[in-house]
Amino acid sequence: MLEAHNLSAERGATRLFSDLSFKVGTGEALMITGANGTGKTTLLRMLAGLSAPAAGEIRWRGQIVKPFDPRLRGAVAFAGHPIALKDELTAEENLAAAAALSGEPASPDAVRSALEVVSLSRQRSLPARVLSQGQRRRIGLARLTLVRRVLWLLDEPVTALDAAGTALLARLVGEHVQTGGLAIAATHTPLILPQVRLHSLALA
Amino acid sequence: MNTAAPVPAPASLADSALPAGGIFAALRWSLVRDLKVAMRSRSELGVQLLFYIIVVSLFPLASNPERTLLAAIGPGVLWVAALLASLLSLPRLFAGDYGDGTLEQIALSPHPLEALVSGKILAHWLTAGLPVTLLAPLLGIQYAMDGESLAVLAAALLIGTPILSLLGGIGAALTLGLRGGGSLLALLILPLYVPVLIFGAGAVEAVRAGLGATANLSLLGAGLLVAMVGAPFAAAAAVRIALD
């Protein structure tokens, strides 16, 4: 269970949001919507433990977590706007490196099946540099399935994905949430998630 | 389009505690990955080494080609060029990972960030400091330096260049995401390099004066130990600040 209590954020002198409180429990998803510049990414980065809120607190499983808290680092899969791929490494190498970084090294077979899930088996030994934006996004999805984390934080996950990719994303998020995970996504295009307890939060 | 491929069954969604292998697994992860990335962009490494070779080779051309003069300025020139070569390669230590979002993943990893940063600094030394050290005796010949001076120069660089990478790592992390970070990095880091330069170049001078290089090399070694203990923590703290 992730709780936010009276969170507020400032960017320079302007206040992005204040007194924001919400709860996301196991098996639930939260969609954060809002116009550009309303603080969606800032909120996600706070929840990931990358930056500190100007005021308020974040609780993970009932305990207050500060930025870079080890308890949160072991639970969060953060998919930020840059997709965190090394251009020089192949799709396979990128995924294997991401799995090892998360503390659970993946076997080559596991990496391959993760790439198969996102329909990138043929591109597995291509350097990430030559992949399209949508394909890079799909590797980001493969990383989410490979690095098993409870709390998914997704920043604009639909960007650059085609219709099939968007459907795949919705399916993966749905399955994740139904198997006891939590998902929080900041997005302009709402994901269609049937059979999921979906909360929404509009920032203004 | 095979969108119906089965998702691997979730083994466990429990929070992972501290990963197995501890700090050495973390250090190895970033060392291996950074070396792999560096090897795939070898041309960049080549350019930096070529810069070092050219800077060192310019001085004998520009000054009086008298053997005693060259032998006197040689160690200083080689050290200054090593400093500049280190500085030139520092931005790639964190900037690449910062730009493509990998640094966020590194900072959010359950591995200790200090160990991951140490691995990156070690990779930087292996691709920047070590080649400079290995080339120095060869380039020193242009300065009519004798065998003993060349050996001491190489030893001093071997101990001194890791200090440059360690201190540079702090500067590179502190200047992440700043506009004009490269020139700011030079202003920030070059003064910190001065003691290394003095003791490093001084080691060869001491040998030429018949004093022996032990004192200078010991001081460099002490500096290296202090930097090895302190720099990873400072650089990791700076990375966290840069991401905030």
- CB burial of B135-162 (b: ≥16 within 10 Å; e: otherwise) equals bbbebbebbbbeeebbbbbbbbbbbbbb
The 8-class DSSP code of residue A79 comes to E
Instruction: Give the integer Cα–Cα distance in Å for A127 and A185.
Output: 28
Determine whether the interchain pair B100/A168 forms a contact, defined as Cβ–Cβ distance below 8 Å.
no
Q: What pLDDT does B4 receive?
A: 46
Provide the residue ranges of all domains of chain B, joining segments of one domain with +. Answer: 43-243
Q: Which residues of chain A have pLDDT under 70?
A: none
Per-residue pLDDT band for B2 (boundaries 50, 70, 90) equals very low
Instruction: Give the integer Cα–Cα distance in Å for B57 and B77.
Output: 9
A28, A60, A88, A177: best to mutate for the B interface, most B CBs within 10 A? A88
Q: Which two tokens stand for residue B153?
A: 């120069």
Task: Provide mean pLDDT across the span B220-235.
Answer: 97
Per-residue pLDDT band for B99 (boundaries 50, 70, 90) equals very high
Which residue, among B191, B217, B218, has the nearest Cα to B204 in the 3D structure? B217
CB–CB of B105/A103 below 8 Å? Answer: no
* ipTM of this predicted structure: 0.93
Topology, domain A2-203: Rossmann fold (3.40.50)
Query: Could you report the per-residue pLDDT of A111-123, keeping only the tens digit for each?
Result: 999 999 999 999 9
Determine whether the interchain pair A101/B105 forms a contact, defined as Cβ–Cβ distance below 8 Å.
yes
Q: Which two tokens stand for residue A201?
A: 């939060």
How many angstroms away from the CA of A187 is the closest CA of chain B?
19
